[in-house]
Amino acid sequence: MWTSLKRVLRPALLSRHGSQLSGLDGRFTGGPVGHPSDAPGHPRSESNSFWLLDKLFCCFTRPAIFKWATTQDRSIEEQLSMGIRYFDLRVAHKPNDSSSYLYFTHVIYTYLTVLKTLESVATWLKSHPKEIVILACSHFEGMDDTCHESFIFSLKKLFGFKLCPWKESALTLRSLWASGYQVILSYDAQITARHPELWPAIPYWWANQCTAQGVTSYLDWNKDHGRPKGFFVAGLNLTADKCYIAKNPKESLRTLTYSNWEYLRKWVKDQVPGSDPKSLNIIAGDFVGPLPLCSLIIALNQKLQKKTTSNTKKHH
């Protein structure tokens, strides 16, 4: 079911969209940055004690938050133009906010709203009618059923017939092009059962490690135990806990990512995309602008294309 689609949808170019001061920056986890949660594959909410500390000592906590919450430094349009085709969108409604606006979140909130950001995606897709993007919505802090329904209604209105409904039939780029579909919308909530346009949550392999060796060991362990049947994400994202941050006050997520990049690069270069049991599908990474993750993934696709061409020749 997935082979043809996986061949062309870059075995991964994720952008966890987070937030920087301007509002767009993270792992296109949709908003400030989305840190994965204590449960693998899910975003994490900070405890009430964090917010209390922030109120009392904001001059100390805020700089640290921005250093460790920022995961990207490119706008969503720039990321799309670079080749990013999967966006991890972590959505939230601010507490005590009387408006219906939703924001991306990762400890902090983006300045730009979710819908304003996704309007940019819709505009970009109009100019690129053969491009397909995967939008994975999750987290949903502060959202009740009414808020979910309103948000989904807005998504349907925004993307319209470009939304590819979740169904059992085989997907290929040709079939998507023929139907005019450009958006696969994953929604990590039970409400998806009421909306055939929404896809179920996409599994995210999150290592929760602060070293490249720890991350790749976790990903290799998952590969050895079998891949999910459909889409899934292998996260290259490094994670620093509070103890690490306290012991390394001069570091940031950027410096941590850069210092581990060479090891991660070699690991990615050795991977094989495709439908084999140990092949990868989507690869997520931070700071995809300054680091050449996109070119690495495109090289993986070219590797798969050569393999496919070779197999086709053998059969003929």
Which pLDDT tens digit goes with each residue over 203-230?
999 999 999 999 999 999 999 999 998 8
**Whether pLDDT at 185 is above 50:** yes
Question: What was the pLDDT predicted at 48?
Answer: 44
Cα separation of 314 and 316, whole Å? Answer: 5
Is the separation of the CB atoms in 109 and 307 below 8 Å?
no
Question: What was the pLDDT predicted at 186?
Answer: 96
**Top-confidence residue, 52 or 69:** 69
What is the overall mean pLDDT for the chain?
81
Question: What was the pLDDT predicted at 39?
Answer: 28
118-171 per-position pLDDT tens digit: 999 999 999 999 999 999 999 999 999 999 999 999 999 999 999 999 985 678
Burial profile 278-288: b = 16 or more Cβ within 10 angstroms, e = fewer: ebbbbbbbbbb
**Whether pLDDT at 184 is above 70:** yes
**Whether pLDDT at 90 is above 80:** yes
Question: What was the pLDDT predicted at 171?
Answer: 83
Q: Dihedrals φ, ψ of 119, to 5°?
A: -60, -35
The half-sphere exposure of 293 on its side-chain side, counting CA atoms within 13 A, is 31
**Whether pLDDT at 296 is above 80:** yes
Strand partners, 15: 87
Strand partners, 311: none
Tokens of 83: 């080749």
Question: What was the pLDDT predicted at 203?
Answer: 95
Mean pLDDT of 290-302: 91
DSSP 193: G
Question: What was the pLDDT predicted at 5?
Answer: 35
**Whether pLDDT at 34 is above 50:** no
Q: Which domains does the chain have, with CATH numbers?
A: 58-202 (3.20.20.190), 203-315 (no CATH)
Question: What was the pLDDT predicted at 71?
Answer: 86
Question: What was the pLDDT predicted at 170?
Answer: 73
| 9: confidence class by pLDDT, cuts 50, 70, 90 | very low
49-68 per-position pLDDT tens digit: 445 545 544 555 667 777 88
